[in-house]
Chain A
């Protein structure tokens, strides 16, 4: 009770000081009146009585003393300062709007960016004790593979021999299913996983169960037709039917029993995966030791470090190399912490962008500090008098921050709302393959970050005016005032330092943006080896249950190509097992007859199965020999086409007519090389990963194919017609990931485009902020020197000289700031360098262009006040004193 009473009382005193004061007055008045009455009763005249009473009672000090007793001092002060801040805001709405807008922009950008960094890089993965989860990889540096998918035989050996992992799971991430039965046939991204994946991750299903050891081939079980659904698939496709467990669904034509549904937040390996079935593989793999197409996840035993696990796998790998010299030659292993591994591609870009927005915020803060210093100077007299009356410097700083509070609160709130909005709008624009993109949102750390940022702004910005006002003490100020309000040297230096900092930081940002822009334009110039214009692409997955034999699939593919080519708007069409730049690959080793594959380094090339018109559709040039034809059937002699990079292995000899085979031990199926085509960039535009070898689709049919179609007109309009043509061949055939090939290429550049455009946008904002800063300082200096200019003009100085004077000051500021900025950019080039493509991190043209842009902007910002200085009317300027 007492505490509540006290709180109530104090709050009232804080919130309604006016009301409290009025009550106090009334209370004291009563007392005075009684005193007067008493004196009159004692025989004084009323006037006399009043005078005596007043003297007895004492003056205004009682009121003050009561007030002090009532108030907890500092809260009262802060509240008072904040209220004063609100009054200042309403009195100068333009000023307040500028401050609030700057804060809101800065907070919005930094909070949004920090949210992404926090959600993607910092938040722990949503699994049990995620720090103990690691991804396992094979390595094969001899074959030019710093990292490869793991081989099933190796995982099986690791499982038995290691002492560092609680358990090791293995999965085939890319397992695709055609879901048929209810509604439209649909293509699902799924995973075949070993049963121990779920316990290793430490996740449990929402309903039903996960897989058991009996259903897991890796643990010696049998391959059962059971499936686990993700929450999203369950809701979307089965209406969140709680009776789903035990029901049969049809995947690629085969019945599977649903055993459970995962929880909503489960998105492993990424959110694209919607269904899980037990991992199956051919048991011969464990003997042949050649299938490297799995992912592997392990849980470290408690207390085991990644380094120790790595050391043990190194030993096991060396043993395996000795035991299986043919298959495991040069095969190593890598242990990578799961979180780091998952986000490795985006770490540097995200931190660079965060640094950029933080810099932008600081540049904005410098403007605020300048504005506030200017305003503090206008209130010089008030502040000096307060200092003279005993207000401590701390009290003045507190006051200056207190006055900022309302604007900080408004700007912070607006910034947070803006950040929430920006995240909502931007997240769908992020590349879908960006890791953990589904986790992006405003989490608690981001809110704490915002509060910290606001506090930092308050300190950085609020401290300047108070320092500027209190420096030099009263005597300096008084003499200042008597000199007629000209700014003291100390204070103008403060402002200069702020502007130099702004210029340096802005130049740093602009150079970064220029480097990334140049890098991006270099990237656009790269010829991927094919022509994406006017080409439409889509993906098909042929159901093995319906078309069990390769010949059936080949026939189906050919029918589809024929039907599509017959469309009037289609010029050419072809099938390929992996679409360039669409993610996903199929690779392996090849060996040329008479050449040791160790010499050629062809341990890992792109395997492509294509129909005859594929090359012409993508305009991949035929350089020698012939393309495939309809006669290269399953029954015809085996043939292959190699790309120009492989052809170079024959020196200048013609490879056409030579023989090649897939480099699988015991696989002696020779193919005759019939042609040489141009090389393409398959995995990514910014790196040339592997050469290609092509096989005729009919001789090496694949059930996962992409259809490419060269249109006579706008390719984007082709989608519906193509889907119709395919359905007319097989109505149950799903079509997915349909888009123009140009869109596929753009998507491949998506992350780079995003980081480039974001950094460019931040740099542009920084330029605007810095130009405001430069303009503000120069304009202020001009207004301070009006009298001087007036006198000089009156004494015969030429206007050009005055202008030059002002411009020189701007140039000096720019020069110092520019040098600092260039040095900073050079010092931090190493970080940015990893994001650049074909551009040196010290690229002179980028550095020069950035400096030039900023120079022009600064010149314009100085020119306006310089012109005003030159147009001073001497008589007016002198009279104004």
Chain B
């Protein structure tokens, strides 16, 4: 099955979630999201990087240059304390939204 494009506004949540375990660079974040969703969710590169920069602007993630697993210089993103709070907030919001939609879909 072809991967589904992301629902508007959920990308931030997914990125924050992906970063919750450990700092990683952009490519790895995309991979992680795809893996965690069993290849269902695909992040467009065109949205990923602007989103990362936006999150950095807002202070939810911080970026540092590090060395990737292939020994290349890579920009590693890590969740900040504010980012963790934001993740909790958005997760809760999402769960309520998802539950509500599920409810509607099943009842109908």
Q: In whole angstroms, how far apart are the Cα atoms of A31 and B75 in the complex?
A: 11
Q: Determine whether the beta carbon of B25 is less than 8 Å from that of A6.
A: no
Residues of A within 8 A of B65 (CB): 23
Residues of A within 8 A of B58 (CB): 6
Q: Determine whether the beta carbon of A69 is less than 8 Å from that of B50.
A: yes
B36 at the interface (CB under 8 A from A): no
- A residues near B (Cβ < 8 Å) are 1-3, 5-6, 9-10, 23-24, 26-28, 30-31, 33-35, 56-58, 61-62, 65-66, 68-70
Q: Determine whether the beta carbon of B45 is less than 8 Å from that of A56.
A: yes
Beta-carbon contacts under 8 Å, B30-82 to A? 30, 44-46, 49-51, 53-54, 56-59, 62, 65, 68, 72-75, 80-82
- B residues near A (Cβ < 8 Å) are 25-27, 30, 44-46, 49-51, 53-54, 56-59, 62, 65, 68, 72-75, 80-82
Residues of A within 8 A of B75 (CB): 23, 26-27, 30
Residues of B within 8 A of A66 (CB): 49-50, 53
Residues of A within 8 A of B80 (CB): 2, 5
Q: Determine whether the beta carbon of B82 is less than 8 Å from that of A61.
A: no
Q: Determine whether the beta carbon of A70 is less than 8 Å from that of B49.
A: no
Residues of B within 8 A of A2 (CB): 59, 80-82
Q: Determine whether the beta carbon of B59 is less than 8 Å from that of A27.
A: no
Q: Determine whether the beta carbon of B49 is less than 8 Å from that of A28.
A: yes
Most buried by B among A33, A34, A35: A34
| A9/B45 contact (C-beta < 8 A), A26-B73, A66-B50 known | no
Q: Determine whether the beta carbon of A34 is less than 8 Å from that of B27.
A: yes
Residues of B within 8 A of A31 (CB): 26-27, 30, 45, 49
Give B53 Cβ to nearest chain A Cβ, in Å. Answer: 4
Q: Which of B44, B57, B74, B81 contacts A27 (CB 8 A)?
A: B74
B73, closest chain A residue (CB)? A26
| A27/B49 contact (C-beta < 8 A), A5-B80, A9-B57, A34-B27 known | yes
Q: In whole angstroms, how far apart are the Cα atoms of A10 and B57 in the complex?
A: 7
Q: In whole angstroms, how far apart are the Cα atoms of A27 and B75 in the complex?
A: 6
A3, closest chain B residue (CB)? B59
Q: In whole angstroms, how far apart are the Cα atoms of A513 and B49 in the complex?
A: 68
Q: In whole angstroms, how far apart are the Cα atoms of A194 and B66 in the complex?
A: 82
Q: In whole angstroms, how far apart are the Cα atoms of A24 and B50 in the complex?
A: 10
Residues of B within 8 A of A3 (CB): 59
Chain A to chain B contacts (Cβ below 8 Å), 22 pairs: A2-B82, A3-B59, A6-B59, A9-B56, A24-B49, A27-B25, A27-B26, A27-B49, A27-B74, A27-B75, A30-B27, A30-B74, A30-B75, A31-B45, A33-B72, A58-B44, A58-B46, A62-B49, A65-B46, A66-B50, A69-B51, A69-B54
Q: Determine whether the beta carbon of A58 is less than 8 Å from that of B45.
A: yes
Give A535 Cβ to nearest chain B Cβ, in Å. Answer: 81
Give A311 Cβ to nearest chain B Cβ, in Å. Answer: 67
Q: Determine whether the beta carbon of A69 is less than 8 Å from that of B82.
A: no
Given contacts A62-B46, A66-B50, 17 further A-B contacts (CB under 8 A): A2-B81, A6-B57, A9-B56, A26-B75, A27-B74, A30-B74, A30-B75, A31-B26, A31-B49, A34-B27, A56-B45, A58-B46, A61-B46, A62-B50, A69-B53, A69-B54, A70-B56
